[in-house]
């Protein structure tokens, strides 16, 4: 969708999509030589998030080429596999989650814990990085934010103690 846009504008567009800043995104797109349909569809990207099935249908509706549709179908394949393992119920899709780390070449992901807004785990596929290291292997990796995990644990312990202390017996 962004192939015909200059690289310096692409970086700014991706940042605005990540921020879900529709106003600035619209303003930037108006300054570029792209069709109205492209502008409208790019502005819809940050708004596609939530339930996986609903979001994927909305993403398909704005896909402007077969490459975009193929990427969406890959996401569906992953979702369907996770569904067979009973994990799909935990998945959400955010099409506005952009690749700010340019070594990722495929799927990128973040993991959260219920009732906690900070990222616990993030990662993705990085075949380009492996090729730069002269390796023919594909790779997928992730990092775990142990500080955030520790905060979640402390919050869970605090919440448990609050609930326990608030229960009175008569």
What confidence tier does 170 reach under pLDDT thresholds 50, 70, 90?
very low
- Percent over 70 (pLDDT), the chain: 88
Question: Hey, is 33 helix, strand or coil?
Answer: coil
- Percent over 90 (pLDDT), the chain: 50
Angle between helices 22-30 and 36-44 (to 10 degrees): 160
Chain mean pLDDT for the chain: 86
Q: What is the pTM of this model?
A: 0.74
Task: Please state the domain extents for the chain.
Answer: 1-95, 99-170
Task: Quick: pLDDT tens for 129-153.
Answer: 778 888 888 888 999 999 998 888 8
Radius of gyration of the chain (CA): 20
DSSP string, 105-160: -S-EEEEEETTEEEEEEEEEE-HHHHHHTT-----EEEEE-HHHHHHHHHHHHHHH
Task: Quick: pLDDT tens for 24-63.
Answer: 999 999 999 999 999 999 999 999 999 999 999 999 999 9
């Amino acid at each position: 969708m962004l192939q015909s846009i200059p690289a310096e504008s692409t970086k700014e567009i991706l940042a605005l999509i990540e921020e879900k800043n529709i106003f600035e995104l619209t303003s930037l797109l108006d300054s570029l030589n792209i069709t109205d349909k492209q502008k409208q569809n790019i502005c819809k990207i940050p708004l596609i998030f939530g339930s996986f099935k609903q979001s994927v249908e909305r993403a398909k509706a704005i896909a402007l080429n077969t490459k975009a549709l193929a990427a969406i179908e890959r996401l569906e394949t992953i979702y369907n596999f996770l569904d067979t393992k009973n994990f799909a119920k935990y998945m959400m899709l955010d099409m506005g989650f952009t690749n700010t780390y340019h070594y990722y070449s495929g799927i990128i992901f973040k993991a959260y814990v219920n009732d906690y807004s900070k990222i616990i785990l993030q990662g993705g596929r990085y075949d380009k990085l492996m090729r730069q290291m002269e390796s023919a292997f594909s790779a997928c990796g992730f990092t775990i934010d142990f500080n955030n995990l520790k905060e979640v644990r402390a919050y869970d312990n605090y919440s448990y103690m609050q609930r326990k202390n608030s229960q009175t017996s008569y």
